[in-house]
Amino acid sequence: MKSIILTHGAARDFDALPASARNSVDTALVRYVTTGLGDIKRLAGRDGFRLRVGPYRVIFDEDATTILAIQIGRRTTTTYRRN
């Protein structure tokens, strides 16, 4: 099973979410890690993937053992902007 690691920015984003959204994002990440299921797409124009959780997006990268969450937030035009 893969490990989930949040960057400092992703951890701040996660903490700022409403409680119900935090629960949904947490559940979706654990589901993806354990089963490989989820609404996942490769990002166009940059490395990484996105996990869609209702109106929220988790921008992440992964390798064989780790999922690195880079950004978590509502779907807006700035969600996919590179930091």
DSSP string, 6-26: E-HHHHHHHHHS-HHHHHHHH
- Checking if the pLDDT of 83 tops 80, the result is no
Domain 3-74 fold is YaeB-like fold (3.30.2310)
Which has the closest alpha carbon to 59: 2, 1, 6, 3?
A: 6
Split at pLDDT 50, 70, 90, the class of 75 is confident
41 vs 77, higher pLDDT = 41
Tell me: pLDDT of 80 over 80. Answer: no
Average pLDDT (42-63) is 94
CA distance 3 to 64: 10
